[in-house]
Amino acid sequence: MTQARALRSASFFTFKVADFLRSVTIKDIALAAGVSIKTVSRVLNREPYVRDTIRERVWQLVEQFEYQPHPAARSLGGRRTYSIGLILEVPETYSYVKRLIDGVFDVCETRRYSLLLRPGHEALKAAEVKKYVRQTRVDGVILPAPIGDSEEVTRTLTEMEVPFAQLSPRNIRADWMSARPNDEAACRELLHEIYALGHRRVGFIKGLRGHGSTVRRLQGYWDSVNELGFDIDPNLVVDGAFDFESGHAGAMALLNLQEPPTVIVASNDDMAHGAIVAARERNLSVPNDLSVVGFDDSPVAKQTFPSLTTMRQPIYEMAQALTNMLLDKLHGLDIQEKVREYSCELIRRDSLKALA
Amino acid sequence: MTQARALRSASFFTFKVADFLRSVTIKDIALAAGVSIKTVSRVLNREPYVRDTIRERVWQLVEQFEYQPHPAARSLGGRRTYSIGLILEVPETYSYVKRLIDGVFDVCETRRYSLLLRPGHEALKAAEVKKYVRQTRVDGVILPAPIGDSEEVTRTLTEMEVPFAQLSPRNIRADWMSARPNDEAACRELLHEIYALGHRRVGFIKGLRGHGSTVRRLQGYWDSVNELGFDIDPNLVVDGAFDFESGHAGAMALLNLQEPPTVIVASNDDMAHGAIVAARERNLSVPNDLSVVGFDDSPVAKQTFPSLTTMRQPIYEMAQALTNMLLDKLHGLDIQEKVREYSCELIRRDSLKALA
DNA sequence: ACGATTTATGACAACGTTGTCAACCCGTGT
DNA sequence: ACACGGGTTGACAACGTTGTCATAAATCGT
């Protein structure tokens, strides 16, 4: 009883300056509420035998302090982990995600870390990320594009002092860990190949607005146009969103030009697929009347007719490197080369052909 | 020093019967090795200041006992979780996986559980699953097909007393938790529609051998053939593997028949896509000369030309239900309806048309 | 031979919860 | 007044590691 009595008289909780950085624990709530930690535990776990007035007071303090029970302590005390496993076999078809997950997981397994999955969506709020990190207490986070491009998210993680590593970020910062393909150079390489095959009028379908690879691939396009002497025409560059539909629409726009291109470079394979379908609808034969190339070497590249010539990204290797960097950082090691760039590889298939 | 001395004299470790079910802890290793737990900890974490002879002895015992440090205890003691987060935005394109992950995660988040991802591959060994579960100590596991069909895996989990729930298992067991689409009925519904449109000769491309949905969809096909009076011809049923290539090959085989079918039912959308491409290569117009239908309503269904008529599975709902069942079970609740079946929905697009 | 390092080791506290159990409170029936 | 009993509460142990620190043992320099 001593604890509770002492606490009750203490009441009117005050923050101790020394506790500034320590995270809130069940003791803090108990102290503030003037009850024992066990009672707080009962409230949190919705167990019976707590007066309603106390229940309410505790919940209120929990919200006020944004208290999150420590999962490891719950596990240890409660003899269960409050976690479940998802053994997921991603079919080969879904390989961008597969290669990414595999790369991250393989390193985690080797280095005896667990991998906590958090699905993202278009506009994942920083508040959700914060809640996720506070709840799970992960030591670090991997941020594939485009989530890593949210200034709000990276700021939140920085404030929480949770290290993160980005895959294909838009803005490269020398002091942040990241890995990305050599989009610009890869695009130039692709355009050299196209030039060598005699094409001079090249259409370009951009990726999702704001995505790092979008910007860099476009830059590679313009560089090549200037360097090699392709036709310079702003109408040859159209918007896209990395999906089939936008590729289809973009290709239609390009084919409707007074002087249409002889080859279309799409910023990824899904859009290239859309372009191929668009060409077919216009009764153009690919690659005889129009060549089409993509980026990624995603599974769809082998399924189009004709099959797609494309630049492959080494996703698996990037994911591994990123995870290793993050774990090194967590172990206090000094990371040399925080920013890493990986070469793409040109995969030659049937959709690109010399100009007749 | 007392601890170590007592232990040293104990030596020649013996198992206590009472400890039979308790998992091995660092204390057991220390006792067996005749050293303190701190020394074992040093060895495990590759810290300096341990004699090589002791190091070796400890590692040997660790292997012998298959000792795995408790992650929660490590977290709590070490002030870090040894886990990292992967905030993954699965593009809409990859939606089977996306819907599955989202369903599982959403329930986990609501019920304050963490989700530990373990990528699977074609033949995930039971030994790997065992290691994964022992390492992470997850309370339960979700097993999407086809991993849940491995007798070796389910037996291992049963032996470890780790509850699991299966998505689309091949063999339905009344005492195991599972969710699956109503493949058989869905297939019959599809064939009724086909019948109503005047078709009498229906080709069928099977799914991956051994997969539960493969078996049940095929069963639905034969049921309908008998019930409605379609042409009965074993040659109209060909093998497939749920991927584009096998769909393409299967369709080619069907179209090469003396009397080819007027409609092809593929056991999923990727194969239906392959069938459409095959038809085009044979200069057949879909759906005028040949109708094609699929299963899943995967993203590719909107990207084929013509777009695919297909049966949509409620993956998200099934994943949610499965996770809820599993968590209920973990909380000792009685699960009514362990085996659940979900209705599919016919999505009418352009690839199925009345027989001319 | 002897103090000064360096190596090696263990005792013990700490981490933040939950589980167990004793005990208090308060209304009820006698 | 008093035993009884269920609702309510808190003290304390337990969970299995790692961190801290004291100290013993081995090695080194003189």
pLDDT tens digits along B16-38 = 333 445 689 999 999 999 999 99
- The pLDDT of residue B21 is 53
Average pLDDT on A326-343 reads 91
Looking at the fold, whether B55 and B202 belong to one and the same domain comes out as: no
Contacts of A321 (CB under 8 A, 6+ apart): A179, A340, A342
- The pLDDT of residue B1 is 39
Percent of chain B residues past pLDDT 90, beyond the cut = 74
pLDDT digits (tens, 9 = 90+) for B138-179: 999 999 988 899 999 999 999 998 999 999 999 999 999 999
pLDDT at A14 over 90: no
- Quickly give B3 CA vs D29 C1' distance in Å: 36
- What's the CA dihedral at B240, B243, B249, B252 to 10 degrees? 90
Asked if residue A196 is part of any domain, the answer here is: yes
Domain final residue pick, A78, A106, A138: A78
Tell me what the pLDDT averaged over chain A comes to. Answer: 90
Looking at the fold, whether B61 and B175 belong to one and the same domain comes out as: no
Q: Between these two residues, A13 and B58, which has the higher pLDDT value?
A: B58
* CB-facing half-sphere around the CA of B326: CA atoms within 13 A: 32
Asked if residue A207 is part of any domain, the answer here is: yes
Q: Are B213 and B266 in contact (CB under 8 A)?
A: no
Looking at the fold, whether B104 and B169 belong to one and the same domain comes out as: yes
Neighbouring C-beta atoms of residue B1, cutoff 10 Å: 6
- The pLDDT of residue B121 is 80
Quick one: how far is CA B272 from the chain centroid? 22
pLDDT at B95 over 90: no
Question: Residue A153's domain is classified under what CATH number?
Answer: 3.40.50.2300
Q: Which residues of B touch A103 (CB under 8 A)?
A: none
Looking at the fold, whether B152 and B201 belong to one and the same domain comes out as: no
Cβ of B73 less than 7 A from strand D: yes
Asked if residue B202 is part of any domain, the answer here is: yes
Asked if residue A353 is part of any domain, the answer here is: no
Average pLDDT on A192-205 reads 97
Q: Which nucleotide is nearest to A78 (CA to C1')?
A: C18
**Lowest-confidence pick of A2-16, A215-229, B204-218:** A2-16
Looking at the fold, whether A47 and A149 belong to one and the same domain comes out as: no
Cβ of A48 less than 7 A from strand D: yes
Average pLDDT on B174-195 reads 96
Q: Which residues of A touch B212 (CB under 8 A)?
A: none
Asked if residue B353 is part of any domain, the answer here is: no
Print the domain residue range for A272.
183-312
Nucleotides of strand C under 7 angstroms from a protein beta carbon:
7-20, 24
Asked if residue A356 is part of any domain, the answer here is: no
- Quickly give A49 CA vs C30 C1' distance in Å: 28
Q: Which residues of A touch B98 (CB under 8 A)?
A: 119
| Helix, strand, coil percentages, rounded to 5, for chain A | 50, 15, 35
Q: Which of B2-6, B118-122, B166-170 reaches the highest mean pLDDT?
A: B166-170
Kindly list the protein residues whose beta carbon lies within 7 Å of any strand C atom: A 1, 22-23, 25-27, 37-38, 41, 44-45, 67, 69-70, 73-74, 76-79; B 1-5, 34-39, 42, 48-51, 54, 76-77, 79
Average pLDDT on B84-88 reads 94
Asked if residue B352 is part of any domain, the answer here is: no
Average pLDDT on B277-283 reads 92
Domain final residue pick, A27, A47, A78: A78
**Lowest-confidence pick of A256-265, A280-289, A326-335:** A326-335
Domain final residue pick, A78, A107, A135: A78
Looking at the fold, whether A285 and A336 belong to one and the same domain comes out as: no
Tell me what the pLDDT averaged over chain B comes to. Answer: 90
Cβ of B77 less than 7 A from strand D: yes
Q: Between these two residues, A3 and A86, which has the higher pLDDT value?
A: A86
Asked if residue A84 is part of any domain, the answer here is: no
Alpha-carbon Rg for chain B in angstroms: 27
Domain count, chain B: 3
Q: Best interface-test mutation with A: which of B80, B86, B281 has the largest number of A CBs within 10 A?
A: B86
Cβ of A68 less than 7 A from strand D: no
When CB atoms are compared, the residue of A88, A140, A244 closest to B303 is: A244
pLDDT at A13 over 80: no
How far is residue A234's CA from residue A86's CA, in Å, rounded to a whole number? Answer: 48
Binned at pLDDT 50, 70 and 90, residue B124 comes out as confident
Binned at pLDDT 50, 70 and 90, residue B120 comes out as confident
Looking at the fold, whether A248 and A274 belong to one and the same domain comes out as: yes
